[in-house]
Chains A and B, each alone.
Chain A
Amino acid sequence: MSDILSILVSTVVLGSIYGLVALGMTLIYGILRVLDMSQGSMVMVGGFVGWAVMTSAGLSPWLAIVAAFAATFCLGVLTQVVSVQPLIGRRGTDFEMITFITTFAVAMVLSNLALQFFGPRQKNVPELVGGSIHLYESVSLPYQSIVMTAIALALMIGFALFLNRSRYGIAIRAVAQDLDAARLMGVPIKRVFPLVMGFASAIAGVAGVFLATQYFASPTAGDQPLLIALIVVIFGGLGSLQGAIVAAYAIGLIQAAASVYVSTTWALPILYGVIVLVLIFRPQGIAGRSLEARL
């Protein structure tokens, strides 16, 4: 019983954080056809912004979340303008491959800048809120986990509502499905693309604050989340939002269950093993249509 409870608790927490990073990645892939390798750096930058606001400046954690959102939004827009926009519509280039590399270059620059400014040492970031609820025997649920999950779910639901209901949200999905037709409808694609990458990066930045409170802020803090997000996105079916969110929780569950029943050391190898198996039998992922993933 206590095993199952603690698995559930960490599934929800891990899944929510992975979901945030993967949501951004899948959105960017679905709309721009860019496998954005800079998303891990947004997590890293979000962590450092959280550290700067909470520890250095000693301000409220809520402000840290807002600041991380704003900073990574701007950084995401900038990344799009610098490393993706100039390549759109170029003849004779493999857009997906080139932007994979240019966004990876941005990631390298960002993590080296972080190394330069903050040094290689891991920085402790305090909890957003202290205290916990005792659930059962040795299992307790920290308020911090509840807060993170609530914010993550709110962001995911907010995003889904935005994409399904609002003028710009529907337009963003339209751009992903037929670029020329979207232009004929009057959708300003030059504004939509940076906006998408800004929002995607901003939610990765928020996830970065969450991860930093669980672990540390460091120049390499984004590497593991990037890898997990890539796995989540491929597992969910590239470009599928629902698929990514389901996959995020599924992967959180596999990781949590492996940690409890086997050991934390084996959690990641087991996770990768399961994913290899799933992809052998269902290469298009959970929700993807074969090679035609769409929002």
Chain B
Amino acid sequence: MPADATTPLLDVRGLSAGYGETTIVRDAALHVGRGETLCLVGPNGHGKSTLLRALTGLLPLSGGEVRFDGERIDGRAAERLTELGIVHIPQGDHLFPDLTVEENLLMGAFPKGAWKGRGDALEAVFARFPKLKDRRRQRARTLSGGERRMVAIGRGLMRQPRLLVIDEPSLGLAPVIVEGVYEIIAGVAAQRTTSILLVEENFTHVEEVADRVCVLEMGRIVRTGLPSELAGDAAVTQSYLGALPS
């Protein structure tokens, strides 16, 4: 498939994945357009993180295909996908606890191309998160939860990602800090240069940033639509109540 402005940046078809014998995600299809922000919502334990891990090469696919910019990328290892501009901010941040804030951010610029521009990228991240500049020499393990999330997002922005994959940015944070995190995400989304695939359990904040929303339930994508359409949707409500769709 030739890559042009009309092909979606990320195109997932029939994706299945799981751990060992257990299939968690079944036959999932979704696409993210250029500059678009897609949110994947669904209850805990229904395969959202598994889907992301499979997309970004941390977990092998058991079926289906993934295209990025028209090119097949399924089966490629995680470390090679970063070269294409796919950045995965994992659930629970996964900072390097004994590296300093600055070293953590620099690791975001590890790919050769990004390493050259690390100085400017660092300044840009510090401009977005002034607090991190004060703490640049501090070890990541000494940071508060909100600061850690900032480092995780900042680390993801260090290499001008084409697709930013963010797994539950609100997880474990105080509501007021979640607001701040979503302001940052909205800021990145509004620039329309980076496509975003955002996973969230909670529907509340998603509405502010999403162009479209997918609902993942029991490992399947059951609904796709505009945030306004899905807000009052019965299927979504059912998902959160834990009832099986009839």
Contact = CB atoms under 8 A, between A and B. Distances in A.
Interface of A: 167, 170-171, 173-174, 177-178, 180-189, 294-295
A171 B56 CA distance: 19
Given A184-B94, A186-B110, A188-B79, A167 B115 contact: yes
A14 B56 CA distance: 49
A170 B106 contact: yes
Contact of A183 (B77, B87, B155): B77
B78 interface: yes
Chain A binding surface, main DSSP class: helix
A152 to B, nearest CB: 26
16 contacts: A167-B115, A170-B106, A170-B107, A171-B107, A171-B110, A173-B98, A173-B103, A174-B103, A174-B107, A178-B96, A180-B94, A181-B95, A184-B82, A185-B155, A186-B82, A187-B107
B148 interface: no
B139 to A, nearest CB: 11
Name the interface size band of chain B: 20 to 34
Interface of B: 56, 58, 77-80, 82-83, 87-88, 90, 94-99, 103, 106-108, 110-111, 115, 155
Contact of A185 (B77, B97, B98, B110): B110
Nearest to B152: A181
Given A174-B107, A294-B98, A186 B90 contact: no
B81 to A, nearest CB: 8
4 smallest beta-carbon distances between A and B, as pairs: A186-B82, A181-B94, A183-B78, A177-B96
A180 B92 CA distance: 12
B115 A185 contact: no
A147 to B, nearest CB: 34
Contact of A187 (B79, B87, B94, B95): B79
A184 B96 contact: no
A184 B115 contact: no
Contact of A177 (B82, B99, B106, B108): B99
Given A182-B107, A183-B58, A295 B98 contact: yes
Nearest to A179: B94
Contacts of B103: 170, 173-174
Nearest to A191: B79
Contacts, number: 67
Contacts of A182: 96, 107
Contact of B90 (A173, A174, A177, A181): A181
A189 to B, nearest CB: 7
Contact of B56 (A170, A184, A187, A294): A184
B164 to A, nearest CB: 12
B11 to A, nearest CB: 21
A259 to B, nearest CB: 37
Contacts of B115: 167
Given A177-B97, A183-B78, 13 more contacts: A170-B106, A174-B99, A177-B98, A180-B90, A181-B95, A182-B107, A184-B58, A184-B87, A185-B79, A185-B110, A186-B110, A188-B79, A294-B98
A188 B96 CA distance: 16
A117 to B, nearest CB: 40
A184 B90 contact: yes
Contacts of A186: 79-80, 82-83, 110-111
Name the residue among A173, A178, A186 with the largest chain B CB count within 10 angstroms: A186
A204 to B, nearest CB: 25
A178 B90 CA distance: 12
A178 B115 CA distance: 20
Contacts of B96: 173-174, 177-178, 181-182
A28 to B, nearest CB: 17
A184 B99 contact: no
B178 to A, nearest CB: 22
A173 B97 CA distance: 10
A171 B82 CA distance: 15
Contacts of A181: 90, 94-96
Contacts of A167: 110, 115
A294 B97 CA distance: 10
A171 B104 CA distance: 10
Contacts of A185: 79, 82, 107-108, 110, 155
A104 B79 CA distance: 31
A174 B83 CA distance: 18
A189 B57 CA distance: 14
A295 B103 CA distance: 14
